[in-house]
Amino acid sequence: MSNVENEKSFSSSRINWYPGHMAKTKRQIKEIMPLVDIVIELVDARIPMSSHLEDLNDYVKNKELIIVFNKYDLCDEVETEKWVNYYEKLGFNVLKINSKEGNSYKNIINLADKLMIKTNEKRKSKGLLPKKAKCLVIGVPNVGKSTLINKLVGKKVLDTGNKPGVTRDLKTLKINDRIDLIDSPGMLWPKISDSKVAFNLASMTNIKEEVLPINEVSMYILDMLSKYYPHKLKEEFGIDDFSYECVDEVFLNICKFKNIPIKGDIDYDRVSTLIMNQIKNEKLKGITFDRFK
């Protein structure tokens, strides 16, 4: 690939991060916020900072907040723990959850009950019945909001899918007599100014592939692997390292390793999709791309 583009071109490219339906969701969320007791923000445990809603303070004012590190099964636990500590030090309630398997999702119910104790004690002293907790689940697209709610409800009541933009409307579901959860469509923020954040979201399938510069994203993934997980670079792609200067050679070697036929030119898009799919399809896991400094 001649004239390899660098990270900057990602942020300066005309990508529509913030389609109209996200602006609509933001408006709807602001409208229902007075009724909400607890906000549950899902972040991707592999990118706990990049997937944290940048404009969260626009939505959440004076609410109890739980940060769920979802897809915990896919992260590098050692690296991600640094971010758990970081959020806890800032005073957040943090939970590590695998919404696909196991029982970790149940901790949400315990924590929500705990966060309602004060409110309900006050109500009791006034002779009022306990309040049902209204919990709003928010987060970037494809982070696992609907999957988690399905688990909590105990059956598949919401559509889910391994691509961003599946949920399109707010929807309230009853979990038990004490808790209601509201599912919401995935959101980003109007301008992603840090290209690293954009690349991280793109790498973890939080941005629609159709609008992505997939060659740049796949090179970013290879670069991150060569920096932090070189053994995975070898296992998954058969290469020892990566540098932006040797992209042609690296892509050629990946083609050979993956038995992709080379007729004339290398099919860069095909190789790029293959690299991205390795993460999307969970073959490449145990990785955390947000690095704590």
Ligand X SMILES: Nc1nc2c(ncn2[C@@H]2O[C@H](COP(=O)(O)OP(=O)(O)OP(=O)(O)O)[C@@H](O)[C@H]2O)c(=O)[nH]1
Distance of CA 262 to the CA centre of its chain: 35
Using CB under 6 A as the binding rule, the residues of this chain from 54 to 73 that contact ligand X are 70-71, 73
Please tell me whether residue 150 binds Mg ion under the rule CB under 5 A.
Answer: no
Please tell me whether residue 136 binds ligand X under the rule CB under 6 A.
Answer: no
Rounded CA separation 123/130 (Å) = 7
DSSP bridge pairs for 269 = none
Rounded CA separation 141/124 (Å) = 39
Cβ–Cβ < 8 Å for 34, 102: no
Binding mask 175-214 for ligand X (x = CB under 6 A): ----------xx----------------------------
Residue 71 or 196 with smaller CB distance to ligand X: 71
Q: What are phi and psi of 11, to 5 degrees?
A: -70, -25
Distance of CA 272 to the CA centre of its chain: 21
Please tell me whether residue 166 binds ligand X under the rule CB under 6 A.
Answer: yes
CB of 203 to Mg ion, least distance (A): 20
Which one of Mg ion, ligand X, none interacts with residue 99, CB within 5 to 8 A by kind? ligand X
DSSP bridge pairs for 180 = 134, 174
Please tell me whether residue 146 binds Mg ion under the rule CB under 5 A.
Answer: yes
Q: What are phi and psi of 117, to 5 degrees?
A: -60, -50
Residue 281, both tokens:
């399809």
Please tell me whether residue 52 binds ligand X under the rule CB under 6 A.
Answer: no
Please tell me whether residue 51 binds ligand X under the rule CB under 6 A.
Answer: no
Please identify, among the stretches 11-19, 155-163, 218-226, 267-275, the one whose residues bind ligand X according to the rule CB under 6 A: 155-163
Among 167, 203, 218, 272, binds Mg ion (CB under 5 A): 167
CA dihedral (222, 227, 230, 232) positive or negative:
negative
The CA-based diameter of the chain, rounded to the nearest angstrom, is: 79
Residue 43 or 271 with smaller CB distance to ligand X: 43
Binding residues for ligand X, how many (CB under 6 A)?
25
Among 144, 217, 276, 284, binds ligand X (CB under 6 A): 144
Among 46, 145, 196, 232, binds ligand X (CB under 6 A): 145
| Site residues, ligand X (CB under 6 A) | 70-71, 73-74, 98-100, 139, 141-147, 160-162, 164-167, 185-186, 282
